[in-house]
Structure 1
Amino acid sequence: MRAPQRARTRVARLRRLLAGLLALVAAATATACSGSREEARIVVTTNILGDITRQVVGDQAEVTVLMKPNADPHSFGLSAVQAAELERADLVVFNGLGLEENVLRHVDAAREAGVATFEVGEAVDPLTFGTGEDGGPEDEAGQPDPHFWTDPDRVRKAAGLIADHVSEHVQGVDDKALRANAARYDEQLAELTAFMEKSFGEIPEDRRNLVTNHHVFGYLADRFGFRVVGAVIPSGTTLASPSSSDLRSLTRAMDQAGVRTVFADSSQPGRLAEVLRTELGGQVQVVELYSESLTAENEGAATYLQMMRANTTAMTDGLAVGSPEGTQ
């Protein structure tokens, strides 16, 4: 083989080798980018906030929700694996204001480990519990009420703030897509507010009295003009228990207000109905609501929008009519 030909052959081989190396580098870079994109993770404590976050984030990042459907946010706990997930997240979204009582220490640990966290309840102008005279728990008067999601306007604010925190702290997110998701969800929440206003407008003013299993609908009452007469459990948490004197006080308040409809979490309406029948000695209608947890699919409240529409319909039907003919 002539020298010029051998030189051309070596150059061709070098070019093929260089092309192969460039292809390997490009593949490695793509894999690294893909890997970092797949690893972008948001961890959310409660399933209500989890749904709101997923509506905003869409497919831009993985969203892990710690609280299972039909669970109690006041009492659910974490496994060791779930606790570890918090410290591997890019962003932790949590309700705060004392709601997730068994989980907040893990959120604190993640924050101390350098994970970005967002306490939603603190950021949406929280209300405080009132006094026993206006339906609030006396022992918790002045403390922040964590149940902000019963006011859809505050959820609109929360959704926008979640989008802001995701944009700031989660790498690889398409901000344009994120903002489009947030805008679409904001429209749906505005429609929810309009639906609730129209529905509650059908309830006469003298029947806008709420009795619940515990103090969870203060934001809804404040937003839509209801009076909270009292709660079977006179507390902002389900971990408390009613005493005989608590129940006597509640029954007196119900008698004075002419209330015979009580709204209870869907997980325990039967037990509540029996307690109230014993104390009131008369007819009581117990209406089931989804108050602090979403359900599994096809169980009535798998999303926040479904939950609030179902609750609005149940409350309107339960209060728009007079005293029930029978009991549950």
Structure 2
Amino acid sequence: MVTATQRSRGLRRATGLLLALCLAVTGCSALGPERSGVVVTTNILGDITRTIVGDEAEVTVLMKPGADPHSFGVSAQQAARIENAALLVHNGLGLEEGVARNIQAARDQGVPALAVGEGADPITYTEGRTARQRDPHFWTDPVRVVKAVDLITTRVTEHVDGVDVAKVRANAAEYRARLTALDTRMRREFAEIPPDRRKLVTNHHVFGYLARRYGFEVIGAVIPSGTTLASPSGSDLKSLADAVRRAGVPAVFADSSQPDRLAQVMAQEAGLRIDIVPLYSESLTGPDGGAPTYLRMMRANTDAISAGLATR
């Protein structure tokens, strides 16, 4: 007759054998699923990361083309993918407001995470009259994107198993060269704009890095904030209209994925003929759009800014 003690011992022995078989045959772990691949929050960083990684690992990009990085969120399936990544690449500096909780949860689970913007020599801007915050929109300066490439390359080679380190580094070197060529082109085109025309008004504060790198003055923004989730007051629009009138700005630049209604209201308030010029500032487009990659986005923006501020 089999006693309760014998049954208990048999159950423990069977459980141990099953666990050993799982570890030996399937590679599963008692600590949970094995982490793999790279997960990237924004599609701009996603394009940069995919170019660096190439075919060496799976890269999952959470933000769809044309989405707003300040407001996009993730599904339960995407949240689980974040927590099972070998590496999480995100912008940081408060950009991904709708995903901040998921990023922190992944960090708490031990996922290696890289906040790229924090390592790209961030600058500050003024929101409203008093609050100073670090500006997350570093990608408008391709020289800083070179720093981002170095950061991503290092973390990929450190944390993503199975990649060919030499190939990843070669991809990064080639991309750095293309970024340097982009910087040269932007300098050349912007140099054609007369100094008194090198003034920017945007739908919200997004081009501070570009302005600092290439010698523009930021007059103001229709939404006086670094996030699209804020909204301007009537006095904000009037103050900006007055500044635009004084500066003689010929164009206001609005994100192509955002409504330009407020920019139109501000232009009417200024009482001047002002062109509303669309730019790709915070999101890439799909393959058939005007900015399917970071490099094409920046070339398109350079052409649009140069044309918008050219002497008539």
- Residue 298 of structure 1, CA deviation: 1.6
Distance, in Å, in 1 between the alignment partners of 2:143 and 2:209 is 10
RMSD: 1.9
Cα offset, 1:139, TM superposition: 4.8
Residue matched to 1:209: 199
- Corresponding residue for residue 293 of structure 1: 283
The code of the aligned residue for 2:79 comes to A
Alpha-carbon separation, structure 2, partners of 1:96 and 1:194: 27
Asked whether 1:46 is paired with 2:18, we answer no
CA distance, structure 1, for counterparts of residue 247 and residue 129 of structure 2 = 23
Read off the aligned partner of 1:79 and give its amino acid letter: S
- Residue type of the alignment partner of 2:219: V
Secondary structure, counterpart of 1:129 in structure 2: strand
Residue of structure 2 equivalent to 1:59: 55
Partner AA of 2:253 in structure 1: F
Q: Which residue of 1 aligns with 2:77?
A: 81
Equivalent residue letter for 1:62:
E
Looking at CA atoms only, which structure, 1 or 2, has the larger radius of gyration? 1
CA contact (8 A) 2:244 2:270 kept: no
Shift of 1:307: 0.3
2:267 matches 1:271: no
Q: In the TM superposition, what is the alpha-carbon distance from 1:272 to its structure 2 partner?
A: 3.7
Q: What residue in structure 2 maps to residue 192 of structure 1?
A: 182
Task: Give 1:271 deviation, angstroms.
Answer: 1.8
| AA at the equivalent of 2:123 | L
TM-score computed with the length of structure 2 as normaliser: 0.87
> 1:1-328 to 2 correspondence within 5 Å?
40-130=36-126, 137-139=127-129, 141-268=131-258, 270-322=260-312
Offset at residue 154 of structure 1 (A): 0.4
Contact 1:276/1:284, CA 8 A, preserved across alignment: no
In terms of fraction of residues, the more helix-rich structure is: 1
Q: How many residues align?
A: 284
Which whole-Å deviations, capped at 9, do the CAs of 1:199-254 have from their partners, x for residues lacking one? 00000000000000000000000000000000000000000001100001001100
For the residues of structure 1 that align with 2:92 and 2:130, how far apart are their CA atoms?
A: 16
TM-score, length of structure 1 as denominator length: 0.83
Report deviation, 1:277. 3.7
Please tell me whether the aligned partners of residues 194 and 311 of structure 2 are also in contact (alpha carbons under 8 angstroms).
no
- Structure 1 unmatched ranges of 5 or more: 1-27, 33-37, 131-136, 323-328
CA displacement, residues 163-189 of structure 1 (integer Å, 9 cap, x when unaligned): 000000111110000000000000100
2:203–2:221 CA contact under 8 A, matched in 1:
yes
Q: Does the Cα contact within 8 Å between 1:140 and 1:235 map onto a contact in 2?
A: no
In 1, distance between residues paired with 2:297 and 2:265?
26
Q: CA deviation at 1:274?
A: 2.9
Contact 1:211 1:231 in 2 (8 A): yes
Which runs of 5 or more structure 2 residues have no equivalent in the other structure? Answer: 1-23, 29-33
| Cα 1:204–1:141 shift into 2, 3 Å | farther
CA distance in 2, matches of 1:250, 1:144: 22
**Cα contact 1:129–1:140 (8 A) shared by 2:** no
**Letter of the structure 2 residue corresponding to residue 218 of structure 1:** G
Q: Which moved more, 1:287-296 or 1:253-262?
A: 253-262
- The Cα offsets for residues 69-104 of structure 1, whole Å up to 9 and x where unpaired, read as 000000001111111110010000000000000101
Deviation at 1:270, TM superposition (A): 4.2
SS at match of 2:123: coil
Alignment CA distance shift 1:99-1:270 (3 Å): closer
Q: Contact 2:199 / 2:216 at 8 angstroms: preserved in 1?
A: yes
Distance 1:273 1:142, change over 3 A: closer
